[in-house]
Chains A and B, each alone.
Chain A
Amino acid sequence: MGTPVNDMNRTRIAVQKGGRLTEPTLDFLYSQGLRFEPNGRNLITPCDNCPIDILHLRDDDIPEYVCRSVVDFGVVGENVLYEKNAHVKVLRRLGFCHCSLVIAVPETSPIKGLEDLEGERIATSHPRLLARFLREEEVNAAIITIKGAVEVTPQLNLADAVCDITQTGRTLKEHSLVPLFTVFESQAALIESPFPKQDRFDFLSL
């Protein structure tokens, strides 16, 4: 096993550290022929069979790292990617970690159609995607931006609706929320720096 080194010549791939995407992403990299130890406590894991380092990062930092060419490749959810509006190259959609960004309202809410959202408060951690959706649908509403636990905001009277990521719909159901509209369909994507290094290691052809 090699040791992680601060070597600019090594190709770097960023993956989510301890999250929904982590396991399927590592499986994807293994399936491409990369051999490396599962992430221990190191943020950087070198590959045994090629000059590649795996970087374990917070997922919403990955587009930024790739965009700035600090890392060469990244695997990230499209929801995060497009929310960050990072200027990166999308190499391919990876077909795993499917999820939807949906607008949901409490079961008892009078909001039934899009037009009912006019002027209402919508809590989300995806303000950019939500704003784009509202603009396209020509609805004006107040976007309340929060980092997490979006689903509790209606019962706290912080919002009238939520715009949140859902996979199975379980969390929404547990909070008596009914999904009404899909804002964005997401899956994992492989992204590349907009300024690729000439000699980066093309692991996709392993």
Chain B
Amino acid sequence: MSELEPSRTPGQAADEPADELIDLLRSRVARRRAAGDYPEGLEEELEEHFRRIAFHKVATDPDGLREAVSRVDERRKFTAEVPAESSVPGGEILHRALNKALARQGQLIVDQLQDFADVVHDALALVAAAVQNPNVHVHADLVGRLDAVLERLDRLERAMRDVRASELERRVELLERALEHRT
């Protein structure tokens, strides 16, 4: 019977051997922690690492934004003039007359729209420029990756500090033995 084989006796509750097994596994984890295999705070770092990945927002698309601003620019010329062409007999005369009658009200609305479009265009152009300027925004994805690298570096430094040379040799030997065993 192996160390992990449950030693159930007749009438014993089904969960008891499982609990024994879990206790044994926990004690092995504790031994690894004590031996420095799992540096202090490693699991918290792993959890924080994934949390940062999970909540990372999708980066903006500066090229797409620039194209969108160009499209706004192309379409910001308004006119109050309604095309006079018509397929209906006499329609052309009627459209010209309507254009003349409504010209003043139409131009007022167009002027307001033009003012609004100019302001929106200028605001969007500023936003697009800001997104492309690294001094006024943050690349969250790069910061996240940098954090991950720094965390790993930090972990390595702590491991180097905590583990004595002899301990390091022991662990290398263990790994080599495991590799030999596999091959």
Chains A and B belong together in one complex? no
Contacts from A to B (Cβ < 8 Å): none
